[in-house]
Amino acid sequence: MNNIMKTYGMNDRFAALSSMYENLSIGRVILQEKGLYRIVTEKGEQLAEVSGKFRYNAKTVSDFPSVGDFVMTDNSGNGNAVIHHILDRKSCFMRKAAGSDRQEQVVASNIDTLFLCMSLNNDFNLRRMERYLSIAWDSGASPVIVLTKADLCEDIHSRLSETEGIAFGVDIIVTSSMEKDGYKKLMPYMTDGKTVAFIGSSGVGKSTLINRLMGEELLETNGLRNDDKGRHTTTHRELLLLPTGGMVIDTPGMRELGLWDSAAGIDRTFSDIEELAAQCKFSNCSHSGEKGCAVCAAIENGLISADRLISYNKLRAELSYSEDSEGYLAAKQRKFKEIAKYNRSNRKINR
């Protein structure tokens, strides 16, 4: 495997996938602007465009390459390299494209770790974090929660334990960019060949963290918006190589990510509610006060908060209309039964 490509995240998986295409070479999309792509191949960086056939066969916006994609290209010609295929994405983020046709658009692909950023001062909102977690689990990337601006928080301890209460098995990092080495807590996730990205509200300190990681003031931060040093205004998406190894995808659109095509991310985020729901008296329980509702009982007993159930219902309602809801419900009920059965047998063993 070529060293440049390895640096840019090529691994055995993509090597195996790429070996299916003779006469084409692998590249990774590092920047996307107006129908043109900047890709990196074993020969270095070059511009690329999709082939006529590719364009013809593309059914939706998401069939087009996005930043982070591994693509199979022909660079034998004189002009731009020609992209013929996208290799199967390991993870990807979608959002609704502009317009009313609800077409999905891929924001970034093949991200290993997604930093879910929330500040410890006025941006702190557990319901928003539940949304981010659902998006992350749905995408295939592994989430890590980053609580920023620790210097502006009086009670880090309780915020941290509140966050732990909604994030099962997810690493949580508390950081402050006011500290010189604050960003270093993120470093363990930035290893050679790994790609990370940040999501979070505007102003929570994402660009500041990326600048620290890059070792230069590359991105514009909110506090510096009016100076004229000509920094990146992030209107495009870009994959940046970190000086310490690994890559970061910087994209202005990441914070607008919506839930797209599956309930898997929500189910995983709300595994506590899912497990309780399996014990409701009625399999089609809507958890809104029915008799024998285990979820309502848990709320009454203070085991979970009513807000968390509202958050769960809201995210579920947001799922795409295109989802086959009947098939989904049937599958869901099967799953509830399985969980209930599992819980029952576990209880027996425990006794």
The interface region with Mg ion, picked from 31-39, 121-129, 205-213, 322-330 by CB under 5 A, is 205-213
Least separation, in Å, of the C-beta of 92 and ligand GDP?
22
Angle at 317 (CA atoms; ends 313, 321), nearest 5 degrees: 160
Q: Which of 62, 177, 279, 311 binds ligand GDP (CB under 6 A)?
A: 177
CA atoms within 13 A on the CB side of 89: 23
How many whole angstroms from its chain centre is CA 60?
Answer: 21
Tell me: does residue 204 bind ligand GDP (CB under 6 A): yes
Binding of residue 122 to ligand GDP (CB under 6 A): no
> Residue 208 interacts with ligand GDP (CB under 6 A)?
yes
Q: Which residues pair with 50 in a beta bridge?
A: 83
Binding partner of 280, given ligand GDP, Mg ion, Zn ion, none, CB within 5-8 angstroms per partner class? Zn ion
**Which DSSP category does 199 fall into?**
E
Binding at 265: pick from Zn ion, ligand GDP, Mg ion, none (beta carbon under 5-8 Å per type): none
Angle between helices 306-318 and 126-139 (to 10 degrees): 40
CB of 25 or CB of 211, closer to ligand GDP? 211
60 binds, among ligand GDP, Zn ion, Mg ion, none (CB under 5 to 8 A by kind): none
The residue at minimum Cβ distance from ligand GDP is 223
Site membership for ligand GDP, residue 279 (CB under 6 A)? no
Options 36-44, 46-54, 202-210, 291-299: segment touching Mg ion (CB under 5 A): 202-210
Residues 22-81 contacting ligand GDP, CB under 6 A: none
Rule CB under 6 A: choose which of 32, 110, 207, 279 binds ligand GDP.
207
Among 223, 243, 245, 292, binds ligand GDP (CB under 6 A): 223
Q: Does 91 bind Mg ion (CB under 5 A)?
A: no
Burial (CB count <10 Å: 0-12, 13-18, 19+), residue 4: middle
* Minimal distance, residue 118 CB to ligand GDP, in Å: 10
Q: Which are the contacts of 188, defined by CB distance < 8 A and separation ≥ 6?
A: none
Nearest Cα neighbor of 263 from 322, 207, 304, 223 is 322
Minimum CB separation of residue 20 from ligand GDP in Å reads 39
Would you give the end-to-end CA distance of the chain in angstroms? 54
The residue assigned the tokens 């929660």 is: 145
The residue assigned the tokens 């880090």 is: 156
Residue 222 within binding range of ligand GDP, rule CB under 6 A: yes
Give the span between the Cα atoms of 236 and 35, in whole angstroms.
12
- Across 46-74, b (16+ Cβ under 10 Å) vs e yields bebbbeeebeeeeeebbebbbbbbbbbbe
> Which lies closer to ligand GDP via its Cβ, residue 178 or residue 330?
178
Q: What is the C-alpha separation between 337 and 326, in angstroms, rounded?
A: 17
Q: How many CB atoms lie within 10 A of CB 41?
A: 20
Give the binding site for ligand GDP (CB under 6 A): 148-149, 151-152, 176-178, 200, 202-208, 221-223
